[in-house]
Amino acid sequence: MPLKRQLGLWSAVAVLIGSTIGSGIFRTPAGIAAKLPGPLPLMSVWVAGGLFALCGALTLAELSGEFPATGGMYVFIREGWGRLPAFLFGWSELVLIRAASLGAISTTFSEYLLRVLGFDPSTKPYSDWVHYVAAVAIVLTATFNYIGVRWSSLVLNLTTLAKYGGLLFIIAVALLLGLPRTGGHFTPAAPAGSFHVAAFGLALVSVLWAFDGWADLSFVAGEVKDPRRVLPRAIILGTCAVIAIYLLANLGYLAVMSVEEISHSKLVAADVAQRLIGPAGVVFVASTVMLSTFGTLNATLLTAPRVFFAMADDGLFFRRVASVHPRFGTPSIAILLAAALGVVFVLLRTFEQLADIFVTAIVPFYALAVAAIFVVRKRPNYDPPFRTPLYPIVPALFILATVFLLGNALLDPSSRWGTLAVLAIIVLGVPVYYATVGRTVRAAG
């Protein structure tokens, strides 16, 4: 039973924006400013992250138009590189990527919900409550997605409008009220010692956590109306909207606070609002972060289970996971599986551990999905409705950036062993493949 095509252009754009804007723009600026303590280096890494995401999005816009099927990146990797690499992507989604993503997003939602309610999530017993509240949030958003795409897309549309509007309000207040008072903190643009290549690479990992989500719309390609027309437009529109709001947000932060102050601010948007509006501003920002992360959590549980569904439908996972609920028309078993794994991870790991696992595990597969364009373009019947501009430069730049990120993470002592551990778990999928579904493939051949 196939999934129904129910998502129009603006719902598709909301999926991408809702998947992307979560906790990153609120939580990562402190760590980035600490690594790159100058306005120009700070802004440059956000620009680089935006260009990185745009290069990937432009490439996937072409691939999505040609292969508008449920599973997105899984389908692109399979079409370009075969079943084993596609299986490794699904394996990594199962044991690392999506569970870590759900855990990190729900943890941030939980922290700010407790803050809005007047509790300090950094102290006992509330630091323990964070994990349980996060687990409940995963179950709740899984329920929305279980009972239908219309319900989950309604929640997604509302929370996307709220988070984007909230960010625009914070930016407007910072630029209209803060900038006249401070004159901004844009000079000196690049103080001595504020830029190092290794530090830039580590900061870029944090930026990519904030930008991640630009590929998630492709996972639900099988449920988008008129996909050859809508998917490329939605991917490009949504990615550009996120890039614009992120760059404006960082300019707004710098209008009110110095780079040094930003580096010590765990929630920079709240500190900006505190200075300009007072305690009411902090409550507003905390509420915006809470809505933002809840929306992203909902979007992740809309998109991620489609990878497991596509794998099962393709014979690379338990067939039952490809079941479509007879009443709700959703991949119900896949949703339950993704939610269960997210609950396990969030009960056992911290935000920082989860975010690092996610970024390290997803980057190699982004590169494989984008690189698939070099293979499929050689096929005689290849006829996408949209073609990547400046091909082959755009996909090549994206792939080079992923190589730089992984190489930098392996060379840096602080991230080397964690990176190697994640890559080892990915490679472990090779013997799993040959011990399970790979035997069937060989026998059929």
Predicted local distance difference test score (pLDDT) of residue 444: 44
Predicted local distance difference test score (pLDDT) of residue 2: 61
What is the tally of helices (H) and strands (E) in the chain? Answer: 21, 0
Which segments of the chain have a pLDDT < 50?
442-445
If you ran DSSP here, which 8-state letter would residue 178 be given?
Answer: I
Rounded CA-CA distance 102/97 in Å is 9
**What predicted TM-score, i.e. pTM, was given to this entire model?**
0.85
Helix, strand, or coil (residue 254): helix
Residues in CB range of 361: below 8 A, 6 or more apart? 92, 96, 97, 100, 422, 425, 426
Predicted local distance difference test score (pLDDT) of residue 443: 46
Q: Give CA separation, 360 vs 65, 402, 415, in Å.
A: 28, 10, 10
Predicted local distance difference test score (pLDDT) of residue 311: 86
Question: Could you tell me if 112 and 282 are in contact, meaning their C-beta atoms sit under 8 angstroms apart?
Answer: no
CATH-assigned architecture of domain 9-444: Up-down Bundle (1.20)
Nearest to 57 by CA among 377, 393, 370: 370
Number of neighbouring beta carbons within 10 Å of residue 81? 17
Question: Could you tell me if 395 and 374 are in contact, meaning their C-beta atoms sit under 8 angstroms apart?
Answer: yes
Predicted local distance difference test score (pLDDT) of residue 68: 87
Predicted local distance difference test score (pLDDT) of residue 236: 92
Work out the angle between the directed axes of helices 39-66 and 393-411 (0-180°, nearest 10). Answer: 130
Predicted local distance difference test score (pLDDT) of residue 390: 92
Rounded CA-CA distance 282/286 in Å is 6
Question: Could you tell me if 33 and 41 are in contact, meaning their C-beta atoms sit under 8 angstroms apart?
Answer: no
Predicted local distance difference test score (pLDDT) of residue 445: 46
For the chain, the domains span: 9-444
Predicted local distance difference test score (pLDDT) of residue 282: 82
Number of neighbouring beta carbons within 10 Å of residue 198? 13
Rounded CA-CA distance 440/87 in Å is 13
**Overall size of the chain counted in residues:** 445
Question: Could you tell me if 208 and 401 are in contact, meaning their C-beta atoms sit under 8 angstroms apart?
Answer: no
Predicted local distance difference test score (pLDDT) of residue 89: 92
